[in-house]
Amino acid sequence: MHEKFTFRPTSDLADVPQLREHFVAACVRASIGGDELDAWKLVFTELACNAIEHGCACASDSVEIAYEITATSVSIEVVDPGECQPELLSLFDRTETDFSETGRGAGLILIRHFTDEIHVRPVEPVGTQVRVLRYRLRDAEGAPVSASDTTAANGLPPACTRGTEE
């Protein structure tokens, strides 16, 4: 099973549920279900909504959302037209205490806990790319199994990369 798809929605948050359902259907075809499917729904929704809310300055802006599902991993990538801020990667390091103090960032905390890799990088001419990945192969304790044959070079600058070095 290998499925890859790219969406280019406008900056309208109302588009996100329909796009998420397309992604969910692909997950189900790849035999992803239960709690894992619920977690991927959340990850997809949070990444899409954050890209629209924080990366689109006007109604004519759009984002790009892509996913890839293989036998060994699932990844979602979002690209928005917002300027890539160096502190963006650190937002994924928020804690439950940060959330309780501000009421913001719960989705980022959940994304960090569910995914194995998070990559943030600027794109030209102006924009931000966020890519998350979770390996589907897990050991008995739930840790990712080495899947070096599934990791492709993506050209991310090391300073903007978290997770398995590529």
CATH number at residue 88: 3.30.565.10
Count of domains observed in the chain: 1
Q: What pLDDT shows up at residue 125?
A: 86
- Helix 34-55 and helix 16-29: axis angle, to 10°? 150
Tell me: the pLDDT tens digits for 59-117? 889 899 999 999 899 999 999 998 877 666 555 555 555 545 655 567 778 888 899 99
pLDDT tens for each residue of 6-60 = 888 888 899 999 999 999 999 999 999 999 999 999 999 999 999 998 888 888 8
pLDDT above 80: residue 153: no
Q: Could you tell me the pTM of the whole model? A: 0.76
Containing structural domain, residue 50: 3-162
Q: How confident is the model at residue 124 (pLDDT cuts 50, 70, 90)?
A: confident
Quote the strand ranges of the chain, DSSP E. 3-7, 64-69, 73-80, 117-122, 128-135, 161-162
| 107/105 Cα distance (integer angstroms) | 5
Q: CA-CA distances (angstroms) from residue 56 to 3, 34, 80, 144?
A: 28, 33, 7, 34
- CB distance 127 to 81 below 8 Å: yes
For tokens 């279900």, the residue is 33
